[in-house]
Amino acid sequence: MSFQLLEAAAQRDREIASGWRHHSSTPSQTRYPDFVDEAYLRRAIALATENVRAGGGPFGAVIIRDGQVIAEGVNRVTAMHDPTAHAEVVAIRAAGQALQTHDLSGCTIFASCEPCPMCLGAILWARFDRIVYAATKEDAAAAGFDDSNFYVELAKPAAGRTPPMRQALAEEGLLPFLAWRQFSAKVPY
């Protein structure tokens, strides 16, 4: 990637950080050069394609901050025998280690495909500033990666979900939260 692309990305990230955090604007109110996003997105797509050729799933992700690539990830579900090893989660774990923090504010994640509900949850917990993706969840479903049932399940009350869920030991379940509130050396997240 050329120096100009990296500098444009760094400038965009600085503008995002100042615009979204200090001026109360929303991401949709600010426009950034598409060519910068597209360069990182092409890298995510290339990672996904390379991963397919290596026997993995067709998903890739790139995380940047201040115009620098912090981490990359590909789908490792079958290689690691881990259903949570989606490209975005793999990249988030690597970014957390690289930056030595769980808070990825100031970062943008570029994904070859629209994040699934699990990955979106991880992205939201990590506090990314932006998500940029290429293929849609409908495109993924057409290729055999249909997560539409997850959205249906999440919309149901807990008692009506599949697999069945039931709450038990509700009062005892509050004990860890009480301990958390009282623990003075906690690291909030």
**Catalytic annotation, pick one of 88, 114, 171, 172:** 88
pLDDT of residue 16: 44
pLDDT of residue 4: 52
Domains and CATH numbers, the chain: 3-182 (3.40.140.10)
Hey, is 58 helix, strand or coil? coil
pLDDT of residue 158: 87
88 is catalytic: yes
The reply to whether the predicted model has a pTM over 0.75 is yes
Over the chain (189 residues), the average pLDDT of each successive run of 10 is 51 47 37 78 98 98 96 98 98 98 97 97 97 97 92 90 90 94 87
